[in-house]
Amino acid sequence: MTEQTSIRLSKRMAELGLCSRREADSYIEQGWVSVNGVKAVLGQKVTESDRIDLNKQAHESQARRVTVLLNKPVGYVSGQPEKGYQAAVALITPENHWSGDKSRIRYQESHLKGLAPAGRLDIDSVGLLVLTQDGRIAKQLIGDNSGVEKEYLVRVRGKLSEEGLRLLNHGLSLDGEKLRPAKVEWQNEDQLRFILKQGKKRQIRRMCELVGLRVVGLKRIRMGKVKLGQLPPGQWRYLDPGERFV
């Protein structure tokens, strides 16, 4: 954005990582945002040089937002429930709260409100699923410019040539678009370790198909600096206030 161009305030706030666009509109509506010291209005346009501030209520609202880490089992969908299948958020209950959670955050029903997945896992995939109320975290993990690494252990069947392994690392295209470079290596004789910085639909399964492999098991073990660790399948914990994805 150049000095002369102007964009919607909510878009600029999201670009700056202050909050999501939807949250920005809510904050503006409640009078919690100022531009150059003047209370902002919905639909307002700003330039790069304008100073944007959130007031105390906005910061307090953000501080109350929680992020949950779930070890998703097979058979649950990441987002909205589908015919015959429950959404993963249905597992966020007091009974499934991991006893090893060190966050000291006490479970409240209000923590379920607006809790949405930041990065999906297929119904037949397992491992680390992040659900958050915080638009800033969602943007970090799945925003258009997100460069956060996602790490997976992938059990495969079939034969992989040296050239196939090279292509998995860089050289494949999906949906007519070249994929970003990945890090792919053998973990053991039937399992590959994938580290990706993007998340196209069923990306790993489709990448493997292109080089003659069939995925028989897929587990996400890390997103950025946050690892699945010892979290048991079907259980969840809060993101500790001191933990960061980037």
Q: What is the pLDDT of residue 168?
A: 98
CATH class held by domain 150-223: alpha beta
Fold of 7-63: 3.10.290
pLDDT in tens, 152-194: 999 999 999 999 999 999 999 999 999 999 999 999 999 999 9
Residue 24 half-sphere exposure, CB side, CA atoms within 13 Å?
A: 25
pLDDT tier, 79 (very low <50, low <70, confident <90, very high otherwise): confident
CA dist 103 and 96 (Å) reads 15
Residue type, 175: D
Q: What is the pLDDT of residue 14?
A: 84
The 10 Å Cβ neighbour count of residue 150 is 23
Report the chain's terminal Cα–Cα distance, integer Å: 25
Q: Domain coordinates of the chain in residue numbers?
A: 7-63, 67-144+226-238, 150-223
Give percent of the chain above pLDDT 70. 98
Residue by residue, DSSP assigns 36-99 as TTEE--TT-EE-TT--EEE-HHHHHHHHT--EEEEEEPTTEESSS-BTTBEEGGGG-SGGGB-T
- Active-site entry in 50, 101, 122, 240: 122
Q: What is the pLDDT of residue 4?
A: 63
Average pLDDT, the chain: 92
Least confident residue range of 4-13, 27-36, 157-166, 200-209: 4-13
25: annotated active-site residue: no
Total-model pTM:
0.81
Q: What is the pLDDT of residue 142?
A: 87
| Domain boundaries 67-144+226-238, corresponding CATH code | 3.30.70.580
